Amino acid sequence: MQANGGFVSGERSGLPDGTVRGDDPLDRVKREVREMAERLRTLDEVLEQASSARESVEDRRRPDTWLSVISGLGRINATLDLATRQCEREVLTAQPGGPRDREVLEQALPRDKALLERGVRMRTLYQHTARFNAPTQAYVRDVSTLGGQVRTLDQFFARLIVFDQRVAFIPDPEDRSTAVVVRHQAVVSFLTGAFERAWQLAEPFSSAYESRTDGKIVPEMQLAIARLLLHEDKDATIARSLGISERSCRGHIAKMMKELGARNRTHLGYLLASSGVLGASASDRQDAPGAAVPHRGTTAATGGRRSPRHR
């Protein structure tokens, strides 16, 4: 020990440059190398994360990663089965075209039951005409028992299936045996929004008897035919849009012509356009069943002119 209060043998003291008296220079170099290596590892991790994020964004911009085409009913059903098994929260289904085939419903029922039993929410849209089909009624009764929700619309809408708002299936309009699978979030969100708007306008599914007697469903179907008559002159096209037979479509048109006193289809179109009834909402109409269009002799049917019996 030094007598003047200096260093005791073995003591170390810090210096302005951060080194320590008594340190071996080689130890200092080793320590700095270790610190630099640690900083490099941290930088590598940050760069790797940034690279992964960039690749993820680029992948979402490439159509071949968020859009795929599947051909063949077997492949389509297999892909739907996989999406169904992976679904965790909700499946939205829009099935236009009226009643569905018994075979299709029998194939879909076990898959849909499995979904509902796992607690997945299921909402389905049909057209009004599906209410009058026995196989569809049985299917709706089965899924409703497990918590599924089914509604119907008078108007035509696009076929669509959405799983968990993450993946959507839409048909190829030119080929019914081809489906397009969409995974782009912006597109899937747009399709989901379209479904939600249609869902808000739809009516809860009820039996054929209730649908015929509630004073709402049948008039809505007739009004849908009336609207299409203004833009389409082919009965087959109108019937296909509403999911009804061509014979039923002609029957509804004949009934409207009789009620309005129309001499021909052109005259019927004029009476419908001038009546103002086509712009009325379902809640505004108070007509009885079978009277979705104004009767002959009413002010609406004559474009504001009172019939002789009201003069």
pLDDT tens figures, 188-241: 999 999 999 999 988 888 766 565 555 566 777 777 777 777 777 788 877 777
Task: Determine the pLDDT at residue 301.
Answer: 36
Note whether 229 and 137 are within 8 A (CB).
no
Task: Determine the pLDDT at residue 291.
Answer: 39
Which CATH number describes the domain made up of 215-310? 1.10.10
The pair phi, psi for residue 97, each rounded to 5°, is: 95, 10
- Top pLDDT among 93 and 232 is at 93
Task: Determine the pLDDT at residue 242.
Answer: 75
- Top pLDDT among 48 and 86 is at 86
Task: Determine the pLDDT at residue 214.
Answer: 57
* Mean pLDDT, residues 168-176 taken together: 86
Q: What is the pTM of this model?
A: 0.59
CATH class of residue range 64-208: alpha beta
Confidence band (pLDDT; 50, 70, 90) for 98? confident
Confidence band (pLDDT; 50, 70, 90) for 175? confident
Note whether 175 and 72 are within 8 A (CB).
no
Q: Identify which of 90, 123, 304 has the alpha carbon closest to the alpha carbon of residue 199.
A: 123
